[in-house]
Every structure is written in structure tokens, then in C-alpha cells.
Amino acid sequence: MSTGRVSTGLQFIGSPKQVGQKASLKGFQRFLSSEFRPSPKSIIMKKKVLLMGKSGSGKTSMRSIIFSNYIARDTRRLGATIDVEHSNLKFLGNLTLNLWDCGGQEAFMENYFTSQRDHIFKNVEVLIYVFDVESRDVERDMHYYQSCLEAIMANSREAKIFCLVHKMDLVQEHQRDRMYEERVNELKTRSEPLKIKTFRTSIWDETLYAAWSTIVHALIPNIRTLESHLNNFCSICDADEVVLFERSTFLVIANAARINHVDAHRFEKISNIIKQFNLGCRQVSNRS
């Protein structure tokens, strides 16, 4: 049995039997160290992410849960976002997410598409647009969404676009699939010729982590190389499955598996459980 550690805090345990396997194992360790350990000489990669949607759609709540360690019930005390809130979030060593949480009040939205258009929509890597599934003014929501797409096409044509149909927990369970499919079909039609990826989300279950894991996955450079190394690592360790989480958010970065699993949401459930456990430990520590 051989064990080892890398500076990222990841630990691996395996029993490689051949020289080639040992070399691959060490190669994976070196890859993780070089990719995810910040270096004074390395270039900081800053990725601009726009988080947009109508006021009250839940943008700031989901941001606070993922990146600021809020629990769902505590987001009720969060106020409305005024204009644009900027956050620089260190992620995987030298990657920084430059998150722009854009307030959704009508006055702000109009400014985004007129006087601030170039400033807001230039050099965007990812646009995340959040829709309140229970909105009573869907047509107006779509108007602002399409205005965002027009600005993206003019300023950041290569940006990836993710649409989150949010607050799905408020919809009766037997109606969720139908309502979600209706929204997705309309979004795809209104988004043409741009391609979008959609998610149903709620702050009360693992769907939020599933959506944000996919979004972050799209921002990571050299992700294919990482997945290749992870597959080799899984094979070397004779593991059924290996999953790599980001340390602070517990978002899923990549996984490798040699068997099929029934539960498609297992990673997001693990993320949620571990994060809730960590929050509980901190609360107990603060009381003592």
C-alpha cells in the first residue's frame, strides 16, 4: 500500500503493482500540484461571470449559498442587490471568478442595456440568467432576457449561456416536469441562434449544486487533461469511482467511474451534506 499527498489537500490511497502505474500515479500528483497550487510566477486567470435576472428571482441567495457558506433559511434576511455587486472568488489555484451580481430592478436593467451596455457585457465568459418559475410577468422576463442576449452577441459572442429556472420547490411536484419543459422550450426558441443550457434549481435541494458545478466546469482550463488524469488515477487505485471537489465550495470539478451508478445526483448530495456538516461544526465552535 502506498499513500501520498499533494499541496491541494487531496489525498490518494492505492496499491499499484507495476512501474508504469506508479509513474502514472506520480504524474497525477504532479499535475494536481502544478495546476492547482498558486505560484508567484503564474498568471492569474480571471473569468468574468454575469449573474442576471429579475429582482427577487433568487440570484443573491444562490450566490451566498455557494460562495459565502449561507444555509438556505438564512438567505431570507438578504436585501435586494443595488446596481452591480462585484466579487472576485479564488477558485482552483490561479483561477479567479470575477462574478458580477446584477441587480434586477427595472431601472438598473434599463441602464445595463443603454449607458452601461459595453461595460457590463464586454469580455464575458459566462452569462447566468435566473428565472423565477412563479413569475407573473413572463413576457417581461423574456424581454429583458432577450435584451441580454442581444448585448452578449454584440460584445461577447463566445460567451456560454446558462438559464436557471429557479424556485422549483414552490411548484407542486406533479406539475414540475411539465412546467419546466414548457419554460425550456420557450427559452430555446427565444434564444436562437444562440445555444443555451438549462437547469431547474432550488436552494432547498441538490439541484443548485448540480447547476453551479456544470457552470464552473465550463470555466476550468485544461479540463480534458484533468479528466484524463483522473481516469488513470481511478484505474490505478482499482476504485469504482473518483470525484474531485473544489475545496471551499464543494462544487464538483470532475469525476471518473468504472461502474454505472443509479443516483445521478450523488455528487451534489455529498456536496450538500459535507457543507452542512462544516457549517454545523463552525456554529458549535463559535458558541464554545
For 45-217, give the CATH class.
alpha beta
| Residue 232 near residue 28 (C-beta atoms within 8 A) | yes
Report pLDDT for 119: 93
Using CA atoms of 46, 102, 129, 180 in order, give the dihedral in degrees to the nearest 10. 140
Report pLDDT for 7: 35
d(CA 250, CA 41): 27
Task: Quickly state the pLDDT bin for 6 (edges 50, 70, 90).
Answer: very low
What is the tens place of the pLDDT at every residue in 83-118?
788 888 887 777 889 999 998 888 889 999 998 999
Q: How many angstroms separate the Cα of 214 from the Cα of each of 22, 58, 144, 147, 155?
A: 31, 19, 24, 24, 24
Between 143 and 264, where is the model more confident?
143
**Host H or E run for residue 99:** strand 95-102
Residue boundaries of the structural domains of the chain: 45-217
DSSP structure class, residue 171 = S
- DSSP code per residue over 58-75: SHHHHHHHHHS---GGGG
What is the tens place of the pLDDT at every residue in 16-49?
444 455 555 566 666 665 555 555 555 668 899 9
Average pLDDT, the chain: 83
Residue 184 clears pLDDT 70, i.e. is over it: yes
Closest CA to 56 of 109, 121, 130: 130
The mean pLDDT value for 249-260 works out to: 87
Report pLDDT for 16: 44
Q: Where are the alpha helices (DSSP H) in the chain?
A: 19-36, 59-67, 106-112, 117-121, 138-155, 173-191, 207-217, 223-236, 266-287
Q: Tell me the CB-side half-sphere exposure of residue 60, using CA atoms within 13 A.
A: 19
